[in-house]
Chain A
């Protein structure tokens, strides 16, 4: 029987947390006065998208999750900001690759695709990847809901 680790925790905060974060980021964008200037739509879209992701990452637990950490780091790199994360006790980066036929080729192929999708998936083992994917999916769906509400609210027909 597999070892029963402590139960996998994939809780995400409530919707309002996401909303708050997203609205904050949007208001910040607003304050930058970028919207008023005649920028290309693409840039604005990109900014909003990035703001959405960043706020989602922050809402979902900040640096407690691998994917959120990777996302934030990526965003910070784009802005050329220095990001410091609290140092964890465990070294998350070291991966022991045992020389056994642990890798089911079909499964690993899919896992590779998943790794490309989920931020920070490159450095994870498959089981950890699945955990992160679950949490990521939850947060993504929450964020989508929030944004949908915003759009509906702000642009009523």
Chain B
């Protein structure tokens, strides 16, 4: 009687739940699970009876439940094949069956079974319950009947839950539906979390990359970006990840390219190789005749040959110069000093010892006035305006030497220079109009 009452009250919720189940939306089952949990938890006391010592009433109840559960357990088995295939339809079907069975239990409650099943039978559903890992799996799959998107996720998360279920199988005996239903809830939650996690991870990884630029990373951030690169490749769509690295702070930030190794050594290797390739291109432009040759080794050969040839040329030319009549080299270099042209250098002491102190001071090219004083202190006996003019003309004659021919012309004139000659030449130059354009004419007097 009491049992019947309990059964009656307990059986009311299932139709409601059945109604809920028939909703196709994925969110609603999730909401229903707690509802179902709370409802079905009421089943627990009767379920607990399985392990207790049975009174006659309990035996009756057990018998009813045994039959119901046995039918329950047995019924999904033929539909197991449906599980592996489609999910939504199959699951809905199974759940409707379940509800049907539960309804049958309620129906049969009024008609207690005359013959209580043997004690052995009592254990069988338990064993079936506990020993049926497939049930656990199916129970897990029930959780995803509404949302197909969870399929992949729960498939991966199933083993975990399966193990959990099997561990809980001991408890399954006492609380038949609730652990199963708990199992229903649990796979969904990690699945949901997992999906959320994955989404957040991709977002996180995408955010991770701007972060290193913001934060002055003291360590080599390549590995973090490698992982980010990997994950992005797997989860994001195909995009060519040859992004330019972020502006280098202490270290050079590199992104791993798609389909390439991402350990730090190979990344560094690649950076280095690309650097070298860059510079090879530079050299290619410099070295004549490198266009036909391709490949690093051959290019390097060419470059080496070119450098050697240049050095040999220098030697040859210096030999020639040494054989030149050296009086011609005696011209006053002080006059050629121009503050625009000369680059201040710090290695003046490397000059030959013959440098005079004044000429040393000539190398400080900061002031025009200083230049003038230096020039005047030289052995040139020229008036100061002429000095300035002369230096400027001569200097500009050097600065305005766009072509070789002009240069050689001016040089050929210089060979006449001694200190006295310079005076005369400059005098002649002053007589003419010291224009910049007429430099060469002036000098070629």
Flag if A155 contacts B324 (CB, 8 Å): yes
A28 closest partner in B (C-beta):
B352
Kindly provide the distance from the CB of A16 to the nearest chain B CB, expressed in whole angstroms: 5
Flag if B297 contacts A110 (CB, 8 Å): yes
- Asked if B357 lies at the interface with its beta carbon under 8 angstroms from chain A, I say no
- Cα distance A86–B352 in the bound complex, in angstroms: 21
- Asked if B265 lies at the interface with its beta carbon under 8 angstroms from chain A, I say yes
Flag if B276 contacts A62 (CB, 8 Å): no
Flag if A151 contacts B279 (CB, 8 Å): no
List residues of chain B with CB within 8 A of the CB of A138.
286
- Cα distance A36–B337 in the bound complex, in angstroms: 26
Given the contacts A127-B275, A134-B283, A153-B408, A32 and B353 also touching, CB distance less than 8 Å: yes
List residues of chain A with CB within 8 A of the CB of B300.
107, 110-111, 113-114
- Asked if B412 lies at the interface with its beta carbon under 8 angstroms from chain A, I say yes
- Cα distance A13–B338 in the bound complex, in angstroms: 14
- Asked if B270 lies at the interface with its beta carbon under 8 angstroms from chain A, I say yes
List residues of chain A with CB within 8 A of the CB of B303.
114, 133, 137
List residues of chain A with CB within 8 A of the CB of B310.
137, 140-141, 144
List residues of chain A with CB within 8 A of the CB of B404.
145, 149
Flag if A151 contacts B321 (CB, 8 Å): yes
- Asked if B43 lies at the interface with its beta carbon under 8 angstroms from chain A, I say no
Given the contacts A48-B322, A81-B350, A26 and B343 also touching, CB distance less than 8 Å: no
**Chain B contact residues: over half helix, strand or loop, or mixed?**
helix
Given the contacts A17-B341, A49-B318, A145-B404, A130 and B283 also touching, CB distance less than 8 Å: yes
- Cα distance A143–B310 in the bound complex, in angstroms: 9
- Cα distance A2–B329 in the bound complex, in angstroms: 51
Flag if B307 contacts A118 (CB, 8 Å): yes
Flag if A30 contacts B326 (CB, 8 Å): yes
- Cα distance A64–B319 in the bound complex, in angstroms: 29
Kindly provide the distance from the CB of A157 to the nearest chain B CB, expressed in whole angstroms: 12
- Asked if A95 lies at the interface with its beta carbon under 8 angstroms from chain B, I say no
- Asked if B245 lies at the interface with its beta carbon under 8 angstroms from chain A, I say yes
- Cα distance A51–B257 in the bound complex, in angstroms: 50
Flag if A24 contacts B343 (CB, 8 Å): no
Kindly provide the distance from the CB of B232 to the nearest chain A CB, expressed in whole angstroms: 15
Contact of A17 among B286, B342, B347 (CB under 8 A): B342
- Asked if B152 lies at the interface with its beta carbon under 8 angstroms from chain A, I say no
Contact of A30 among B278, B296, B320, B329 (CB under 8 A): B329
Contact of A1 among B244, B343, B349 (CB under 8 A): B244
**Chain A contact residues: over half helix, strand or loop, or mixed?**
helix
List residues of chain B with CB within 8 A of the CB of A52.
314, 317-318
List residues of chain A with CB within 8 A of the CB of B279.
8, 127, 130-131, 134
Flag if A150 contacts B272 (CB, 8 Å): no
Please encode chain B, from 331 to 365, with 1 for each CB lying within 8 Å of some chain A CB and 0 for all others: 11100111001110111011111110000000000
Question: Which residues 73-130 of B sit at the A interface, judged by CB distance below 8 A?
Answer: none
B252 closest partner in A (C-beta):
A3
List residues of chain B with CB within 8 A of the CB of A155.
320, 324-325
Given the contacts A44-B322, A144-B317, A61 and B343 also touching, CB distance less than 8 Å: yes
Flag if A83 contacts B349 (CB, 8 Å): yes
Flag if A54 contacts B286 (CB, 8 Å): no
- Asked if B269 lies at the interface with its beta carbon under 8 angstroms from chain A, I say yes
Given the contacts A20-B398, A155-B324, A133 and B283 also touching, CB distance less than 8 Å: yes
Flag if A20 contacts B341 (CB, 8 Å): yes
List residues of chain B with CB within 8 A of the CB of A14.
341
List residues of chain B with CB within 8 A of the CB of A16.
341, 398-399, 401
A49 closest partner in B (C-beta):
B318
Kindly provide the distance from the CB of A64 to the nearest chain B CB, expressed in whole angstroms: 10
Flag if B307 contacts A1 (CB, 8 Å): no
- Asked if B243 lies at the interface with its beta carbon under 8 angstroms from chain A, I say yes
List residues of chain A with CB within 8 A of the CB of B278.
2, 8
List residues of chain B with CB within 8 A of the CB of A54.
350
Kindly provide the distance from the CB of A5 to the nearest chain B CB, expressed in whole angstroms: 7
- Asked if A97 lies at the interface with its beta carbon under 8 angstroms from chain B, I say no
Question: Which residues 99-157 of A sit at the B interface, judged by CB distance below 8 A?
Answer: 100-102, 104, 106-107, 110-111, 113-114, 117-118, 126-127, 130-131, 133-134, 136-138, 140-141, 143-145, 147-156
Flag if B398 contacts A102 (CB, 8 Å): no
- Asked if A88 lies at the interface with its beta carbon under 8 angstroms from chain B, I say no
Flag if A49 contacts B314 (CB, 8 Å): yes
Flag if A3 contacts B248 (CB, 8 Å): yes
Flag if B286 contacts A137 (CB, 8 Å): yes
- Asked if A70 lies at the interface with its beta carbon under 8 angstroms from chain B, I say no
List residues of chain A with CB within 8 A of the CB of B342.
17, 20
- Cα distance A110–B293 in the bound complex, in angstroms: 15
- Cα distance A155–B313 in the bound complex, in angstroms: 17
Pick the 4 closest A-B CB pairs, nearest first.
Answer: A153-B411, A2-B274, A130-B279, A110-B300
Q: What are 9 A-B contacts with C-beta separation under 8 Å? A: A20-B336, A41-B323, A59-B343, A76-B347, A86-B346, A134-B282, A143-B314, A154-B415, A155-B324
Q: With contacts A1-B242, A28-B352, A153-B415 known, what are 5 further pairs, Cβ within 8 A?
A: A14-B341, A100-B269, A137-B306, A150-B321, A153-B409
